[in-house]
Each structure stands twice: as C-alpha cells, then as structure tokens.
Amino acid sequence: MSSQSNLKDLYPFLYGEAQPEALDAALLAAVAEKARESRETNARTFGDQAGDLVAAAKSLADVYRHGGRLFTMGNGGSSCDAAHIAVEFLHPVTAGRPALAATNLVADLAMLSAVGNDLGFEHVFLRQLIAQGSAGDAVIGVSTSGNAANLLAAFAKAKELRMVTVGLAGGDGGKMKSSGLVDHCLVVPSSSIHRIQECHVASYHILWDLVHTLLADDRGSATTKGASA
C-alpha cells in the first residue's frame, strides 16, 4: 500500500471524503493513539534507564557538592530544553531548594553567530567551554538523534577538561552513545522526535529532583561557586 493510501485511511478528511462526525472521530482516534505511544515510550525509557538516571544525578550532585557548575547545550527544539534545564537549576520552583549555578550555552546570540560565522557552527559550544569550563564542572547536551556535531565537539573538549558529561538522546543514541565521550547517556528508544522530546523533558525534571534530594544534607557546600540560596 502506498504512503498516500495509508494517509487516506488514517485521515480521510484531508481528501474531502468524511462528514464532520467522521472527522471528529478520526481526530479523537489520533489523540488516543499519540497518547498511547507517549505512555509506552515513557514506560520503556524509564523502565530501562532508571539506574542510569540515578547514576547521572549522583555525578551532578557531586559536581555541585565540590563547587562545580553545570553547562547546557542543544540545537533547535533541544536548545529550548537546554534553556529549560538551566533555568530549573538557577531558579528552583520548589520551596526550600537552593539555586544552583548553571549556564545555558545557547543563550548568547552574539557569541553563537560570531563563532559560527568565523569558525563554523561545530565550534559554538566548544569555544564557550574552553573559556568557561573547568575540571569538576558538568555539561548536559540534548540531541534527539545523538549525532549533533557541535555537541560531540563540546563533549570531546569537556572530557579533556575533566568535566562530567551527560547526554540526552533518542533512537539508538547515535554517536553520542557510541563515541565514549558521554559519561551518562540517556537514550529514548523511539524514532519519533516528539516522543523523544517528551521523555527528555521528564528526564531532566527527574534529574533535577534527584540532584536536590542528594544534596539535601549539605546544601551549603552545593552553592559555593557562583550560586545563591
């Protein structure tokens, strides 16, 4: 069966062959199907990788415990996730939890455009880590494919700098998983960008919560480098 035939069966209203009642039924069925896919992808991801999330949280908590900082990075929709991760750590919404130092490497448009224009887009995060990263810091990179060249370049530099590296990927994890550059690589087993992104959001919210849980007994030492309570 051709792809057009498949689409026609799934969404007959696109071809002017459905009455309003049939259109509503088809849309409701699409909602139910996508919600089911989302639940199943979520269950597979966290069923298989709960231990990996805990391990990543322990590493990040240790970074903060010793005065380190977190850097975040991503492209496109994943750049929004990078921004979201940073603001979660900088401005915790849960009462009683301290702010923790985090820098979104996507935020400086002048820096991104300058480096992208002069050296190439693969260097936009790498150059910032050279200037700002130190041994004992951490970097989280988000890529639905796991193959973003600028993230891989930055992860390579982060390893040279002896930083903790955490990756959020999808599919089979791509080069992010296979490169050996990422200490903790959390992979959503799906080919759907939307399902991957949904699990990424849940992953870093859980990660944020676990880090604060681990730091609950020594919050003073967790904010010694550039953070305020």
Q: What is the dihedral of CA 155, 156, 161, 167, to 10 degrees?
A: 20
Residue 8 lies in a domain: no
For tokens 């026609």, name the residue: 8
CB count in 10 Å sphere of residue 191: 12
Residue 206 lies in a domain: yes
Is pLDDT larger for residue 227 or for residue 187? 187
Mean pLDDT of the 58-68 span: 97
CATH number of 214's domain: 3.40.50.10490
Residue 10 lies in a domain: no
Residue 133 lies in a domain: yes
Residue 169 lies in a domain: yes
pLDDT-derived band of residue 202, with 50, 70 and 90 as boundaries? Answer: very high
Residue 124 lies in a domain: yes
pLDDT score for 222: 42
Three-state SS annotation for 134-175: CCCCEEEEECCCCCCHHHHHHHHHHHHCCCEEEEEEECCCHH
pLDDT tens for each residue of 40-60: 999 999 999 999 999 999 999
The residue segments making up the domain with residue 190 are: 19-222
Residue 112 lies in a domain: yes
**37: buried, middle or exposed (CB in 10 Å: 19+, 13-18, 0-12)?**
middle
Residue 4 lies in a domain: no
pLDDT tens for each residue of 137-155: 999 999 999 999 999 999 9
Please say whether the dihedral angle defined by the alpha carbons of residues 216, 220, 226 and 228, taken in this order, is positive or negative: positive
Count structural domains, the chain: 1
Q: Percentage of the chain with pLDDT > 70?
A: 86
